[in-house]
Amino acid sequence: MKKYLAISKDIREKIFNKTYKQGMKLPYEYELCEEYKCNKQTMKKALEILVSEGLIIRRRGAGTFVKNTVNTEGTPELTYGHYIKGFTKHFTSLGEVETKVLQFNVIPSDRETADKLKIKKGDFVYCIERVRKVNGIPHVIELMYMPISVITNLRQEDVEGSIYTYIEDELGKKIQGSNQLIKAYPSNEHDQSNLGLEKNEPIVEVEKTAYLTTGVPFEYSRLRFHYKHFSFYAVVNKM
Amino acid sequence: MKKYLAISKDIREKIFNKTYKQGMKLPYEYELCEEYKCNKQTMKKALEILVSEGLIIRRRGAGTFVKNTVNTEGTPELTYGHYIKGFTKHFTSLGEVETKVLQFNVIPSDRETADKLKIKKGDFVYCIERVRKVNGIPHVIELMYMPISVITNLRQEDVEGSIYTYIEDELGKKIQGSNQLIKAYPSNEHDQSNLGLEKNEPIVEVEKTAYLTTGVPFEYSRLRFHYKHFSFYAVVNKM
DNA sequence: GAGTGGTCTAGACCACATC
DNA sequence: ATGTGGTCTAGACCACTCT
């Protein structure tokens, strides 16, 4: 285990433990270095993680403090947040994940899909449409495109389960991350019937391009969430 | 200017310049160190910024590469994104910002507002409701609460302009950041008449708690955006 | 095996808020 | 003026990818 991750984990726990309470000043950097037997830079890196998570703030000349706004009760991390591991792993803690496959075809890519996936227009892609439910409640309609040259031999049974698990465990490829554009729209009839929405109720669309550690894009998708099952929590630190 | 910011700025420009093109390998770390006459750690910090912006990826044993998904044409940064500087500064490049004040009162805080602002229920807060327009087009209805003990002597003319400018320039206080929860909802009649929405069109609500560098919360607000004028771009890197 | 980037240390000096 | 956290350097060693 990397030292800076171990340290940040320990201090994070102390914040949730209320060993370090809201608004409280943490020991000075050099004291923490002694406590954890590490160098200044390592401690800095550990604390930077907690800053980016919105748990602490650091002020030159003053010290390091637990933020007043920390929610030490239930973590609000049921939110969309860092959804990179895929739907299954993200929601599996909440209940039973079910998948209904609406479409599973191989088609020639159109201009936009080809652009996003950095392939040639007309190159074949999987076109997958699925409804994902948690405890029987529909959360999202996923419309995904994946190049058959990258994600090889995808089968119906993989599509009914976790595609990300297939990519990582079966194909042995590593996922790097994704770019996501989040917007809201009025729902259409397709959304309404599949997600159980009223006519005036909206969806939140996430347009997502995901790629492997090699830099190769492997997924372009449009995820249409029931508005009640989408929230995004962001911590914004100035500069 | 900090060295690592200067370096990351220069390399960022080279990516947008196409001096470094999509998918291209950057020089090795030690070569970049020589080029910019800096230490390994400083270069690492500079490149980390570009990683977090989604412009490059680094792979141990392989090298540093410009991402294939970089949009080197128009920056998509008209998005909500890092909206910390406040609406005025964020949108001022897009056109003329107008503000219509619907409410400007001092009221006793309710339980929820007091909790968020870490004050006692009943402590007085400014209650401000404004419609913000860009080039005459309404973008958002802002409903804001600020403790009168923190944001002192706010006047009608400040509320008609930029409150953030008042806080920083007149009061000389520094803004640290904010926590934001983003969700979509069907619009109500108030939204429809003020934002020019049809009955079936939604809004995106941002629930925001902002605080000063001292850790003191100074703003709790609910921003209701016209759905066409809200988008959020996120780069998610695994782990 | 060669060559990448990642982690960690030790120490000098700087910028900033107020102990 | 003091004492915080921030930046920068120099160098050792480790982990991973690609032949």
* Fold of the domain built from segment(s) A3-66: Arc Repressor Mutant, subunit A (1.10.10)
Please give the structure tokens belonging to residue A55. 């748990």
* Fold of the domain built from segment(s) A87-229: Chorismate lyase (3.40.1410)
> Using the beta-carbon criterion (under 8 Å), do B84 and A183 form an inter-chain contact?
no
Check residue B130 and report its DSSP letter. E
Residues in chain B with CB shorter than 8 Å from the CB of A230 are 183-184
Instruction: Quick: pLDDT tens for A105-122.
Output: 999 999 999 999 999 999
Per cent of chain A over pLDDT 70 is 92
User: Nearest residue of A to residue B203 by CA position?
Assistant: A184
End-to-end CA distance of chain A: 30
pLDDT(B214) > 50: yes
Q: Are A202 and B227 spatial neighbours (Cβ–Cβ below 8 Å)?
A: yes
Of residues B111 and A239, which shows the higher confidence score? B111
Strand partners, B59: B63
User: What pLDDT score was predicted for residue A239?
Assistant: 58
- Per-window interface: A 100-139 vs B, CB < 8 A: 116, 118
User: What pLDDT score was predicted for residue B74?
Assistant: 44
A76 falls in which pLDDT band (50, 70, 90)? Answer: very low
Alpha carbons B230 and B81: distance in angstroms, whole number: 9
3-state secondary structure of B33: helix
> Could you tell me which residues come within 8 angstroms of residue B32 by beta carbon, excluding any fewer than 6 positions away?
B7, B11, B26, B43, B47
Alpha carbons B122 and B107: distance in angstroms, whole number: 8
- A1 shares contact with chain B (CB less than 8 Å): no
Instruction: Quick: pLDDT tens for A171-208.
Output: 888 888 888 889 999 999 999 999 999 999 999 999 99
> Using the beta-carbon criterion (under 8 Å), do A181 and B69 form an inter-chain contact?
no
| Beta-carbon count within 10 A of B128 CB | 21
Residue B142 CA, chain-centre distance (Å), reads: 15
Q: Are B183 and B167 spatial neighbours (Cβ–Cβ below 8 Å)?
A: no
pLDDT(A75) > 70: no
pLDDT(B65) > 90: yes
A77 falls in which pLDDT band (50, 70, 90)? Answer: very low
In the numeric block, the tokens 């919105």 are attached to: A54
In the numeric block, the tokens 């999987």 are attached to: A126
Alpha carbons A97 and A213: distance in angstroms, whole number: 27
B83 falls in which pLDDT band (50, 70, 90)? Answer: low
Strand partners, A212: A175
| Per-domain boundaries in chain A | 3-66, 87-229
> Could you tell me which residues come within 8 angstroms of residue B157 by beta carbon, excluding any fewer than 6 positions away?
none
Please give the structure tokens belonging to residue B164. 């953030």
| Beta-carbon count within 10 A of B66 CB | 23
Per cent of chain A over pLDDT 90 is 62
Give me chain A's average pLDDT, please. Answer: 89
To 5 degrees, how large is the angle CA B153–CA B157–CA B163?
70
Q: Are A151 and A188 spatial neighbours (Cβ–Cβ below 8 Å)?
A: no
- B67 shares contact with chain A (CB less than 8 Å): yes
Of residues B70 and A63, which shows the higher confidence score? A63
Mean pLDDT computed over A35-60: 93
User: What pLDDT score was predicted for residue A82?
Assistant: 53
Smallest Cα–Cα separation from A126: which of A99, A152, A161? A152
Q: Exposed (0-12), middle (13-18) or buried (19+): which is A116, by Cβ within 10 Å?
A: buried
User: What pLDDT score was predicted for residue B189?
Assistant: 97
Alpha carbons A55 and A162: distance in angstroms, whole number: 32
Please give the structure tokens belonging to residue B198. 């049809």
> Using the beta-carbon criterion (under 8 Å), do B217 and A69 form an inter-chain contact?
yes
Residue A140 φ/ψ region, left for φ over 0, alpha for ψ in the -120 to 50 degree band, beta for the rest: beta
Mean pLDDT computed over A25-43: 93
Instruction: Quick: pLDDT tens for B106-145.
Output: 999 999 999 999 999 999 999 999 999 989 999 999 999 9
Distance from CA of B117 to the nearest CA of A (A): 9
Alpha carbons B8 and A95: distance in angstroms, whole number: 43
- A74 shares contact with chain B (CB less than 8 Å): no
Smallest Cα–Cα separation from A210: which of B67, B90, B74? B67
Smallest Cα–Cα separation from A180: which of A205, A203, A207? A207
Instruction: Quick: pLDDT tens for B154-201.
Output: 999 999 988 888 888 888 888 888 888 899 999 999 999 999 999 999
Alpha carbons B154 and B166: distance in angstroms, whole number: 8
Instruction: Quick: pLDDT tens for A117-168.
Output: 999 999 999 999 999 998 999 999 999 999 999 998 899 998 998 888 888 8
Alpha carbons A124 and B67: distance in angstroms, whole number: 23
Give me chain B's average pLDDT, please. Answer: 89
Please give the structure tokens belonging to residue B96. 């003329």
B76 falls in which pLDDT band (50, 70, 90)? Answer: very low
Distance from CA of A164 to the nearest CA of B (A): 13
Smallest Cα–Cα separation from A126: which of A102, A99, A155, A148? A148
Mean pLDDT computed over B52-62: 91
Alpha carbons A88 and A169: distance in angstroms, whole number: 14
B213 falls in which pLDDT band (50, 70, 90)? Answer: confident
Alpha carbons A134 and A147: distance in angstroms, whole number: 28
pLDDT(A78) > 60: no
- pTM attached to this predicted model: 0.89
User: What pLDDT score was predicted for residue A103?
Assistant: 95
- A84 shares contact with chain B (CB less than 8 Å): yes
User: What pLDDT score was predicted for residue B70?
Assistant: 73
How many residues does the structure list for chain B? 239
Distance from CA of A216 to the nearest CA of B (A): 7
